[in-house]
A and B are shown apart, each in its own frame.
Chain A
Amino acid sequence: MKELVEYIVSALVDVPEEVMVIETLGESIIVLEIFVAQDDIGKVIGREGRIANAIRTIVKASAAKSNKKITIEILSKNPEGEKQPVGQRSTF
C-alpha cells in the first residue's frame, strides 16, 4: 500500500524527494500518513479535494482486495519541520 501511495504522490508533486509515507498496520486497519513539501500540498489535494479523493478511491480499491480498511492523512512539512495536518481525515 505504501509503495502505491508513494508512487502516485511522487509523480504528482514538484519535489518528490520530500515525499514521505508512513504506514501503520493495525489488525484490520491501515493508517497512511502522507507528508509532502508545503508548496506541494495543493498538488496532492487538488481543486475541491479532487485529487486527494482520487488517491483515496484508488487506495481503497487496493485495500478492498485484502479486506482492509484504510485511513489516509495528507500532511505538509512546514519550515520548522513540524507536522501540519491538511485537509480532512477520512476512513473507509
Chain B
Amino acid sequence: MDREESLTPEETQQMMEFCREKLATIIERMGFGAKAEARIREDGHILLEIVGGEDLGLLIGKEGNTLRALQTILRVLVVKRFDKKAMLILDADNYLLKREEALIDTAYAAVERVEKTLRKVQLKPMNSVERRIIHMTLANEENVHTYSVGEGADRRVVIAPGKVRSQESFRDTGDYAPEAADDSYAYSSESHGNR
C-alpha cells in the first residue's frame, strides 16, 4: 500500500500501456465509440484520457461516478498484474479540470456570502479530494477559515467567518492520504487559490 514506492521508467511505461489497453477494451465492450489515450505526466502520474465518441457524459457518470468506477477497476488490475500501485488518473473530456474549476468558483462564491453575512456556509457533500481542493483554495483567505463536518459520504466543508487556524481546518489533508485516495480522484496538480 505504499504510494511512494518508486517505479522505473520502464515499469511506468508498461503500466501505462497495460492500463490503456484494458481501458480501451472495457470502453469498447461498454458500447461506446470513444478512444483511450495515455501519457505519463511530469509528476510521474499516468494520465488516461477518454476522448471522442458520443455520450461521454454517460461514461463520466453522475459527479464522475463512472470514471471513478473505471479507475477503481484499473487500479486493482494494475496491482494484480504488477504487484505495485499505479499513480493513475482517469479523465474524460477534461472533466477533472472542469470540475476543479467549478469547485474553485463554488469556494469563492461561498466566501463572498460569508463575508457579506458573517455567517457560516456549509457546502454540499464532497469526496476527500474535492474537499481538499476547497480547503487549499481558501487556505490563504484573510476573512474565512474552513473545516469539515459529517461522516463518510455526507462529509462536507464548512466555510466560517474569521481567520482561525485550528487544527481541524487541516484534518482533511490528513484523511486524504491512505484509504480514501484509492477511490477518489487525484485531481490535476494545477495550483489552487492563485486568484
Q: Classify the secondary structure of A's interface with B.
A: helix
Known: A58-B30, A65-B32, A66-B31. Contact between A46 and B58, CB under 8 A?
A: no
Query: How many pairs of A and B residues are in contact by the CB < 8 Å rule?
Result: 60
Instruction: Encode contact with A along B159-187: 1 for CB under 8 Å, 0 otherwise.
Output: 00000000000000000000000110000
Q: Measured between C-beta atoms, what is the minimum distance from B80 to chain A in Å?
A: 7
Q: Are A3 and B73 in contact (CB under 8 A)?
A: no
> Which of A5-13, A21-29, A79-87 lies at the interface?
A5-13
Tell whether A91 is near chain B: CB-to-CB under 8 Å. Answer: no
Known: A54-B69, A58-B73, A65-B31. Contact between A12 and B80, CB under 8 A?
A: yes
Which B residues lie at the A interface, using CB under 8 A?
Answer: 22, 25-26, 29-32, 55, 58-59, 61, 65-66, 68-70, 72-73, 76-77, 80, 182-183
| Given A4-B29, A62-B32: 15 more A-B contacts, CB < 8 Å | A4-B26, A8-B26, A8-B73, A11-B22, A11-B77, A12-B80, A50-B183, A51-B73, A54-B68, A58-B66, A58-B70, A58-B73, A64-B58, A65-B30, A65-B31
